[in-house]
Amino acid sequence: MDRALNSDPVNTADTEGRQRWRNWIGFWLLGLCNNFAYVVMLSAAHDILQKQESQNSTTPIPCFGVFRYGSNQLPDGVVLYNNIYEHIWDVLSGWGSGTGAAGVAGALLYSAFTQAGLTPQVTLWIMLVVPVILAVSYFFLLVFPSSFPQWRRHEDGHSPSTVVNSQERRPLIEEETDTDENSETAQEERDNCTGHAFFLLTDARNIRPLTFTDQIYIIKGLLKFIIPLGVVYFAEYFINQGLLELLYFPASHLSHAEQYRWYQTLYQIGVFASRTSLVCFKIRKIFLMSLLQCLNAVVLGFAVYYQFLPNPWVVFIIVLYEGLLGGAAYVNTFFFIREETAKHEREFAMAAASVGDSLGIALSAAAAFPEGLSSAWVPREPLPESLEVDAKPQDMSAAKGGLVIFTANSNPSSRELGRRIAERLGVELGKVQVYQEANRETRVQIEESVRGKDVFIIQTVSKDVNTTIMELLIMVYACRTSCARNIIGVIPYFPYSKQCKMRKRGSIVSKLLASMMCKAGLTHLITMDLHQKEIQGFFNIPVDNLRASPFLLQYIQEEIPDYRNAVIVAKSPASAKRAQSFAERLRLGIAVIHGEAQDAESDLVDGRHSPPTVKNIGAIHPSLEIPLLIPKEKPPITVVGDVGGRIAIIVDDIIDDVDSFLAAADTLKERGAYKIFVMATHGILSSDAPRLIEESAIDEVVVTNTIPHEIQKLQCPKIKTVDISMILSEAIRRIHNGESMSYLFRNIGMDD
Structure letter (DSSP) for residue 91: I
- Do 272 and 310 belong together in one domain? yes
- Look at residue 204 in the predicted model and tell me its pLDDT: 46
Find all residues with CB under 8 Å of 540, minimum gap 6, and list them.
518
Last residue of a domain, one of 513, 546, 579: 546
pLDDT band at residue 170 using 50, 70 and 90 as cut-offs: very low
Which one, of 442, 439, 512, 451, lies nearest residue 475 by Cα? 442
Number of Cβ atoms within 10 Å of the Cβ of 90 = 24
- Look at residue 595 in the predicted model and tell me its pLDDT: 79
Lowest mean pLDDT among 63-77, 193-207, 496-510: 63-77
Question: Does residue 184 carry a pLDDT above 50?
Answer: yes
Tell me whether residue 383 is in a domain.
no
Task: Give the residue numbers spanning the domain of 87.
Answer: 12-51+63-144
Q: Give tens-digit pLDDT for 301-322.
A: 888 877 788 888 888 899 888 8
Task: Give the integer Cα–Cα distance in Å for 519 and 522.
Answer: 7
- Do 362 and 415 belong together in one domain? no
Would the CA dihedral through 338, 342, 344, 350 be positive or negative? negative
Tell me whether residue 176 is in a domain.
no
- Look at residue 135 in the predicted model and tell me its pLDDT: 78
The better pLDDT of the pair 203, 286 is held by 286
- Do 354 and 235 belong together in one domain? yes
Question: Does residue 523 carry a pLDDT above 70?
Answer: yes
Quote the crossing angle between the two packed helices 13-43 and 45-55, to the nearest 10°: 40
User: Taking the model in full, what pTM does it have?
Assistant: 0.55
- Do 38 and 72 belong together in one domain? yes
Between the ranges 115-124, 222-231, 378-387, where is the mean pLDDT highest? 222-231
Instruction: Give the 3-state secondary structure of residue 406.
Output: strand
- Look at residue 1 in the predicted model and tell me its pLDDT: 42
- When divided into structural domains, the chain yields a total of 4
pLDDT band at residue 413 using 50, 70 and 90 as cut-offs: low
Q: What's the mean per-residue pLDDT of the chain?
A: 76
- 525, 543 Cβ separation under 8 angstroms: yes
Residue type, 455: V
The dihedral region occupied by 327, where left means phi > 0, alpha psi between -120 and 50, and beta the remainder, is alpha
The better pLDDT of the pair 526, 388 is held by 526
Last residue of a domain, one of 530, 546, 562: 546
- Do 537 and 591 belong together in one domain? no
Question: Does residue 48 carry a pLDDT above 90?
Answer: no
Which one, of 488, 403, 471, 461, lies nearest residue 432 by Cα? 471
Helix (H) / strand (E) containing 332: helix 312-340
Task: Give the integer Cα–Cα distance in Å for 268 and 544.
Answer: 48
Tell me whether residue 607 is in a domain.
no
Would the CA dihedral through 261, 262, 265, 266 be positive or negative? negative
The better pLDDT of the pair 65, 262 is held by 262
The CA angle 725-730-735, to the nearest 5 degrees, is 130
What is the gyration radius of the CA atoms in the chain, in angstroms?
Answer: 34
Distance of CA 472 to the CA centre of its chain: 27
- Look at residue 171 in the predicted model and tell me its pLDDT: 44
Burial class of residue 698 in the structure, from the number of CB atoms within 10 Å of its CB (0-12 exposed, 13-18 middle, 19+ buried): buried
- Look at residue 164 in the predicted model and tell me its pLDDT: 41
Q: Give tens-digit pLDDT for 4-40.
A: 444 444 445 666 667 677 777 777 777 777 777 777 7
pLDDT band at residue 495 using 50, 70 and 90 as cut-offs: very high
Question: Does residue 611 carry a pLDDT above 80?
Answer: no
Task: Give the integer Cα–Cα distance in Å for 616 and 622.
Answer: 10
Tell me whether residue 178 is in a domain.
no
Give me the mean pLDDT over the 140-160 stretch. 53
Find all residues with CB under 8 Å of 56, minimum gap 6, and list them.
none
Number of Cβ atoms within 10 Å of the Cβ of 260 = 19
Task: Give the integer Cα–Cα distance in Å for 660 and 649.
Answer: 14
- Look at residue 410 in the predicted model and tell me its pLDDT: 61
Task: Give the integer Cα–Cα distance in Å for 93 and 96.
Answer: 5
Task: Give the integer Cα–Cα distance in Å for 460 and 490.
Answer: 8
- Look at residue 88 in the predicted model and tell me its pLDDT: 52
Instruction: Give the 3-state secondary structure of residue 568.
Output: strand
Burial class of residue 692 in the structure, from the number of CB atoms within 10 Å of its CB (0-12 exposed, 13-18 middle, 19+ buried): middle
Distance of CA 454 to the CA centre of its chain: 32
Last residue of a domain, one of 546, 575, 590: 546
- Look at residue 739 in the predicted model and tell me its pLDDT: 92
- Do 559 and 691 belong together in one domain? yes
pLDDT band at residue 482 using 50, 70 and 90 as cut-offs: very high
Altogether, the residues listed in the chain come to a count of 752
Burial class of residue 362 in the structure, from the number of CB atoms within 10 Å of its CB (0-12 exposed, 13-18 middle, 19+ buried): middle
Question: Does residue 370 carry a pLDDT above 80?
Answer: no
- Look at residue 185 in the predicted model and tell me its pLDDT: 52
- Look at residue 390 in the predicted model and tell me its pLDDT: 41
pLDDT band at residue 678 using 50, 70 and 90 as cut-offs: very high
Structure letter (DSSP) for residue 601: G
- Do 715 and 659 belong together in one domain? yes
Tell me whether residue 735 is in a domain.
no
Helix (H) / strand (E) containing 338: helix 312-340
Question: Does residue 610 carry a pLDDT above 50?
Answer: no
Number of Cβ atoms within 10 Å of the Cβ of 726 = 18
- Do 409 and 353 belong together in one domain? no
- 243, 374 Cβ separation under 8 angstroms: no
CATH of the domain at 521: 3.40.50.2020
- Do 250 and 140 belong together in one domain? no
Between the ranges 196-200, 326-330, 457-461, where is the mean pLDDT highest? 457-461
- Look at residue 71 in the predicted model and tell me its pLDDT: 39
Tell me whether residue 393 is in a domain.
no
- Look at residue 369 in the predicted model and tell me its pLDDT: 56
- Look at residue 194 in the predicted model and tell me its pLDDT: 41
Question: Does residue 388 carry a pLDDT above 50?
Answer: no
The better pLDDT of the pair 609, 565 is held by 565
- Do 536 and 552 belong together in one domain? no
Backbone angles phi, psi at 44, to 5 degrees: -95, 10
- Look at residue 109 in the predicted model and tell me its pLDDT: 78
pLDDT band at residue 92 using 50, 70 and 90 as cut-offs: low
Tell me whether residue 434 is in a domain.
yes
Q: Give tens-digit pLDDT for 415-439.
A: 889 989 999 998 999 999 888 888 8
DSSP string, 121-155: HHHHHHTTHHHHHHHHIIIII----TT-TTTPPPS
Question: Does residue 197 carry a pLDDT above 50?
Answer: no
Which one, of 313, 290, 292, lies nearest residue 303 by Cα? 313
Percent of residues, the chain, with pLDDT higher than 70: 69
Tell me whether residue 166 is in a domain.
no
Task: Give the integer Cα–Cα distance in Å for 78 and 95.
Answer: 8
- Do 469 and 557 belong together in one domain? no
- Look at residue 255 in the predicted model and tell me its pLDDT: 65
Instruction: Give the 3-state secondary structure of residue 703.
Output: strand
Q: Give tens-digit pLDDT for 334-349.
A: 788 877 777 777 777 7
- Do 426 and 530 belong together in one domain? yes
- 578, 651 Cβ separation under 8 angstroms: yes
The CA angle 232-237-243, to the nearest 5 degrees, is 120
- 22, 142 Cβ separation under 8 angstroms: yes
Number of Cβ atoms within 10 Å of the Cβ of 214 = 14
